[in-house]
């Protein structure tokens, strides 16, 4: 690798740079089609437990706060929160869980997700540059247990776990997003 800090030599490298993988992919011949998708989150005050399982719309933490968010906005690299989107998120949550109607929102934020065209992760190794790997997903926290247990053995010279075989970059015909 050539960087502003100098040359680095390694038998293996892993592209796990989030949205920067869109820029780095060409250097190792892994056409990873990703784009930023903004998502917004609302967090309530602590509430008495009412939800034992996470849903696509929200989850309640052990401390009782409720994290609410299901927006998917294709706005490039714009990271400004949008009150009208937050209002829609809150209305959907109240329709699904009326007990949230009087809950106080204590904080909000947004973030850019790393999204492939079908929303699923990419786990692959470059055929042209063996030892160059790509790991790209928008659900890194959710998949952390799988990542920590299964991916290191693959990167260190083992076989890609059969569970991940369908997540190669060849499933996409052409990269659909560029970065920078």
Q: What is the pLDDT of residues 55-101, one digit of tens each?
A: 888 999 999 999 999 889 999 999 998 999 999 999 999 999 999 99
Q: Which of 79, 154, 68, 171 is nearest to 120 (CA)?
A: 171
Tokens of residue 157, six digits:
């010279």
pLDDT of 31 higher than 80: yes
Same-domain pairing of 67 and 85: yes
**Quick check: pTM over 0.85?**
no
Please tell me the distance from the alpha carbon of residue 180 to that of residue 175, in angstroms, as a whole number: 14
- Looking at per-residue confidence, does 140 or 160 come out higher? 160
Report yes or no on 77 lying in a domain: yes
Handedness of CA 159, 163, 164, 168 (dihedral sign): positive
pLDDT score at 8: 85
Report yes or no on 129 lying in a domain: yes
Same-domain pairing of 108 and 93: yes
Same-domain pairing of 43 and 109: yes
Report yes or no on 174 lying in a domain: no
Q: pLDDT category, 32, cuts 50, 70, 90?
A: confident
Evaluate whether 73 touches 113 at the Cβ level (below 8 Å). no
Domain range for 24 is 2-34+116-166
Same-domain pairing of 80 and 48: yes
Cα–Cα distances (Å) from 146 to 23, 54, 152, 161, in that order, read 26, 18, 10, 10
Report yes or no on 127 lying in a domain: yes
Report yes or no on 178 lying in a domain: no
Q: What is the mean pLDDT of the chain?
A: 88
Tell me the backbone φ, ψ of residue 23, rounded to 5 degrees: -85, -35
Please tell me the distance from the alpha carbon of residue 39 to that of residue 112, in angstroms, as a whole number: 6
Q: pLDDT category, 140, cuts 50, 70, 90?
A: low
Same-domain pairing of 46 and 74: yes
Same-domain pairing of 53 and 95: yes
* CATH number of the domain residue 63 falls in: 3.30.9.10
Same-domain pairing of 99 and 51: yes
Mean pLDDT on 29-55: 91
159 SS3 class: coil
Evaluate whether 127 touches 6 at the Cβ level (below 8 Å). no
pLDDT of 176 higher than 60: no
Same-domain pairing of 46 and 100: yes
105 SS3 class: strand
Same-domain pairing of 43 and 81: yes
pLDDT score at 163: 85
Report yes or no on 150 lying in a domain: yes
Same-domain pairing of 45 and 108: yes
Same-domain pairing of 23 and 58: no
Count of domains observed in the chain:
2
pLDDT score at 175: 47
Evaluate whether 100 touches 93 at the Cβ level (below 8 Å). yes
pLDDT of 162 higher than 80: yes
Same-domain pairing of 71 and 92: yes
pLDDT score at 54: 76
């Amino acid at each position: 690798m050539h960087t502003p800090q100098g040359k680095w030599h390694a038998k293996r490298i892993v592209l796990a740079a989030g949205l920067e993988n869109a820029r780095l992919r060409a250097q190792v011949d892994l056409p990873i089609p990703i784009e930023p998708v903004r998502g917004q989150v609302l967090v309530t005050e602590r509430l008495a437990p009412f939800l034992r399982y996470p849903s696509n719309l929200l989850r309640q933490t052990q401390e009782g706060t409720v994290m609410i968010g299901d927006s998917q906005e294709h706005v490039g690299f714009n990271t400004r929160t949008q009150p009208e989107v937050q209002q829609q998120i809150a209305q959907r949550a109240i329709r699904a869980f009326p007990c949230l109607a009087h809950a106080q929102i204590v904080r909000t934020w947004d973030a850019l997700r790393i999204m492939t065209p079908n929303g699923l992760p990419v786990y692959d190794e470059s055929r042209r540059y063996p030892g160059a790997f790509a790991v790209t997903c928008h659900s890194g926290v959710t998949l952390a247990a799988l990542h920590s247990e299964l991916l290191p053995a693959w990167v260190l010279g083992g076989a890609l776990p059969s569970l991940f075989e369908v997540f190669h970059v060849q499933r996409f015909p052409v990269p659909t997003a560029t970065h920078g």
